[in-house]
Structure 1
Amino acid sequence: MLPPERLARQARELLADAVRVAHWAREAGLSPEQDAARAAGELGMSTAELRENWSRARLAGLLEIDGEDGAVSAGWRLRAWERDDTAALRGWVALFDAWCLARPAPPDADPSLVTDVVAAMPQLLSVMRLSEGPVTAAGLIDLMRRRVAELRAERPDGAGPDTPAPEPVEPPEAEDRATTAERVRLLGWALDALSSVGALTLHARGDRPARARLTDLGSWAMWTKLEQICVAAQSPAGNIEQSAVAMLRGCANLTPGPARAEYRAWLAVRPTAPAVDELLAAAKGEDALIRGLAFQALRVVGAPASEAVRAVVDDPVLRPYALLWLADHEGGDPRETAESSLGVLNRQEATWLWVDTASAAQEHGAERLLLDHLDTAPQPNVAELVDEIRICGHPRTVQVLLALAAVHPDQTVAKRVRRAAFQVHSGGA
């Protein structure tokens, strides 16, 4: 596997034009779509190239767009793009995760078949990673057919525990020919979309792909995701000497008891005020998991952290966490709707917090937890949750919606959620 600096260089090359568009938008303070002719002319791109690279810039998380007036500002990844390899790699992974939005499915495609193909692709990519070589189109078609059959067998459809096991997967000739042909067409779309974001290379025979192979970036991304899933939780060593971010990251896989012990040890060797400031600085970063863990560590600090936590209540990223921390510390119920001196989370803040915690699960390979996380949503049903997620303003709204759609067992709901992700990404209502 290539070293991180070479992978980051490849990520920068793939997103070079998207970064140019992002810088233009940041300097202009507006979306290039608001003045496409001017933006395209100044950047030396066609209008179609401009729109594609603008889409990539947003999917890669390079920009922050104000939901009210559409004002554009640089995101953390864009500010750190040239000096921080992590920024470049995480930006590319965000684009990779949103491949089905980077190049949307054919408009005439059957939505249920699109859902099948999108849901099957992670396993196909994993097989490609493990094969360490090109996989033929015939092999991918067979893998997809089998994976779709498995997914459909796993979906709850009213079958009880005594329901007989599904019959073995029938050969492709037993399937409806039109459906098979459509799945093959959509597999071609998926491979083309993944190729367009730099995850794989396609080798064609005539006008049809004959085989596909992961790129270095694609192989690294799948290795990283497989490692996140397979790694065993271990208590990290040397946390006392680590920075707040490194300590919190080391505690990510610990259960609450051992994690609190790590927090106490880390805090014990530091003056309280600087330690609290370092934890809050870590919480302001882009990683939602680190944010949540930072406030768990601040609970161990207790009363000495109150003044510093109050000081960040007006920070839009930290506000929900800070209000809950303060309400918890002072013995109140943070979910009470009555007015208090602390204030409470309004519906939009509660929704933003739900998306932020969901993004932590999604970014760290625990997408399956999103189904359990639905039970904690402030809305009574998925339809209302999706409607309010779309307007909450969280920068990872699209990624969370895509992850939720990928794991939700009800395909009608999954379709609605995926459509919402596309609407958020495209700026639709």
Structure 2
Amino acid sequence: MSDSSTLPPVRLHAEAELARDALSTPLLSRAARLARWAGPDTRVDAGGALVDEQLPAAAEALGLSGDDAAAYASEAWRVAVDTGLVEITDEEKGTVAAGADLALLTGGSPHDVLQVWLGALEAVLADASVPDLGAVVDAMAEGGEVDLSSLGFDPEAEAEFLEGVLGNLYLLTVSEDGPGEGPVPLPALAASVLVPGDMAEPSNDVLQQVSDAMMRLDGQFRLLEPVGLVEYRPVDEALLTETETETETGTGEGADETAVPGDETDVTRYGLVRLTPLGLYGLRARLLEAGFAVPAVGELADKGADALLDGTAAFGPAAAQAETEQWLARREPLAAARELLAAARGSDGGAPLRRLRCQQALSLVGADAEPALREVLDDAELGGLARVWLTEHGARDVPAPSEAMVFWLTIDTVAAQLAAEGNSEELRALVEGLARQHSGFFGAAWRVGHPATADVLEAMGRLHPDKRIAKEARKAAFKARSQQGA
């Protein structure tokens, strides 16, 4: 994706709800508790980390025990420092005090809380992009200094890969044809980044790359879950043992040696990940900062009808309806209908899709909108749309449209569908139906004074499976274009 890419709109929870989620995440809540626990006697090293002697007390303050208690306490302390919950008051002495941002967690707005949480997220993402510390320690024990490239690790490449994975996870979550709030199998997520789109059958080499990436992502998502970005079901450890055993004994062969599921394998054993509502908020914030256009449902609710119709042009049907419902909820029905109809006028390239979105919006307005539709019955651009609405709502005394209006509305509708969906199966079916129902359609359609007539007829020529009818459509398109140029 380029920085100018526009992503599908996301439906975000209210900031107050997200802030409550942020405060309850294990990592941020631990960081806040340590910030309140710290006092005049708390000491840190030159890097701002708690000195080893104080880790047991920090773990105890968090109610942690066991082998990993000190590590969890150390991680929470790093987040407290990185987010400003703790400030180092004297670097030479290694003394600390509560940071200014600590008060935001209890006295700040929901937005303030979320900004602190975003700082915690950045800290954890940075940690998730570093190599296995065990490998680093072993290398240091052997040779002193560590060259990360000698460990086969490229920090920039690792961070870029994780960014790509999270970007795809966001896109899968917000896309209308994606899993939505459901979990994504880890193999599918890794493959979405590594397997070329034009590769029909992944090679063994690509499958091995996917398998290796899954193992890295397994560790990274385990780190990202405590900060509330994801809910994660880890890779089954028994599966890893089975894979290692097969490799050692030589029973695995080819793609079977990789930890990638086959068609009949229980995919849940290979890890499942889903973005939380808080995670959606966090990734959207990061994408916005990176320069992407990342719309959110509800952003157009207080804007004019022109902004609504243009803004929802690229939305999927469900997102467009959700946005429109929020827009209508703030307006009186008759006034809203009049505003929508006024914004739908125009002869520019985006006008047909605006009128389609207008028609869809008006379908959500009740009978109170009828006067607005009757007011445009004689309008060349809106008269056909108005008749459709009035008829569907059971209105009486709806005048029949002229043949010219019927053809104009047909061209306008196909142009809108082309803009919304491209060469979809639904549009192909519409084109076939039009040609079947009107034997002289192309002979009359090329004369329609609609700016998109030639483009629509050319598209019908591409889409219709009958070569004879497709040829008629192309001839009609040529006539229409000649008429426009005359």
TM-score normalized with structure 2 length: 0.35
TM-score normalized with structure 1 length: 0.39
The structure that has the greater radius of gyration is 2
